[in-house]
Amino acid sequence: MNKLLPFGLLFAALCTLLGRAQADDTVTETRPIDARVTRIKLDGMVDLKLRQGAVPTLTITAERRYMGKLATSQAGDTLHLESEMRGFKFNNTAVRAVLVLPALREVVSEGVGMTDIAGFSGDELELTMDGAGSMKVAVDYKNLKASLGGVGSMNLWVSENDSVELDLHGAGHITLGGRSRLLKASLGGLGGLNAHQFQVDSVSLDLSGLGNAIVNAKTNATLSLSGLGSVTVYGRPLNRSVSIDGLGKVSWK
């Protein structure tokens, strides 16, 4: 046992030195973009933080060996970020991008990283996620459209707006919070929707998949169930229209 102790200490020290060496090899690079960019297309393993600001900037942080594997290009109002590291697992923070834009209209993610969006406002924002990553959004738009077709997750928070439209056709999950006049949601996959903390005047829900949904409506609730999933409705809406052609059920809270 005593002989193993020095070996264990030596191994721990070696791991510490290797960790420090990798940390010391982390580099930061600024890449050129201009104020025309309002749309983002992501592919691969990239963690992206999107913030609103007057001056557009794109900063990439990664280990030196991975920096060249992230391609960035701008075509008109669209910025493409594509990583070649989709085929294997590496450090949790291998590639991190911080993007500052004056305005934002669309984000499409087909990768496995985390996307964090905050501080933007405007008339309409469209979000699409078809990968296995996650998306966290806190914005103030009059109209928000979100589509989830992969196995990832979306956590959306919107301030008082006119409408939110959701299309969930994958195996992921959407959590929605805030306030709006109208929520229109279509669930056709395996995933679920939790909009308990999203207060709306009217909700229109079409559930044809296997997932479950939780919504919160004050005035109108129009529900169509043709799959195996069930719906829980909070808020005690005054007007209720329910159509069930499947094995699901509706619960009123």
Say if residue 90 is in the same domain as residue 141.
no
Residue with tokens 């990239």: 46
Say if residue 46 is in the same domain as residue 147.
no
Q: Which of 61, 80, 103 is the last residue of a domain?
A: 103
pLDDT in 10s for each residue of the chain, 253 residues:
444 444 454 444 445 444 544 455 999 999 999 999 999 999 999 999 999 999 999 999 999 998 988 999 999 999 999 987 654 444 455 799 999 999 999 999 998 999 999 999 999 999 999 989 999 999 999 999 999 998 999 999 998 899 999 999 999 999 999 999 999 999 998 999 999 999 999 999 999 999 999 999 999 999 999 999 999 999 999 999 999 998 999 999 9
Say if residue 226 is in the same domain as residue 168.
yes
**Residue 231 included in any domain:** yes
Say if residue 73 is in the same domain as residue 131.
no
**Residue 28 included in any domain:** yes
120: which residues sit within 8 A by CB, 6+ positions away?
50, 52, 101, 103, 104, 139, 140, 141
The predicted pLDDT at position 111 comes to 87
Angstrom distance (rounded) from CA 159 to CA 251: 27
Say if residue 160 is in the same domain as residue 238.
yes
**Residue 11 included in any domain:** no
- Local structure of 142: helix, strand or coil: strand
**Residue 108 included in any domain:** no
Say if residue 98 is in the same domain as residue 127.
no
Say if residue 90 is in the same domain as residue 179.
no
**Residue 86 included in any domain:** yes
Say if residue 51 is in the same domain as residue 131.
no
Mark residue 44 as left, alpha or beta (left: phi above 0; alpha: psi -120 to 50; beta: remaining).
Answer: left
- In terms of Cβ atoms closer than 10 Å to its own Cβ (0-12, 13-18, 19+), residue 141 is buried
Q: What is the pTM of this model?
A: 0.88
What kind and span of H or E run contains 39? strand 39-43
Decide the pairing of beta strands 239-244 and 213-225. Answer: parallel
Say if residue 99 is in the same domain as residue 120.
no
What CATH number has the domain bearing residue 55?
Answer: 2.160.20.120
Please give the residue range of the domain that contains residue 93: 24-103
Say if residue 195 is in the same domain as residue 253.
yes
Q: Which of 62, 81, 103 is the last residue of a domain?
A: 103
Angstrom distances, CA of residue 232 to CA of 1, 25, 154, 227, 229: 59, 51, 20, 15, 10
**What is the number of domains present in the chain?**
2
**Residue 224 included in any domain:** yes
CB 43 within 8 A of CB 111: yes
**Residue 39 included in any domain:** yes
User: Which tokens hold the place of 66?
Assistant: 């991975």
**Residue 148 included in any domain:** yes
Paired residues of 224 in beta bridges: 206, 243
The predicted pLDDT at position 160 comes to 81
User: Which tokens hold the place of 72?
Assistant: 């960035």
Say if residue 133 is in the same domain as residue 249.
yes
Say if residue 99 is in the same domain as residue 124.
no
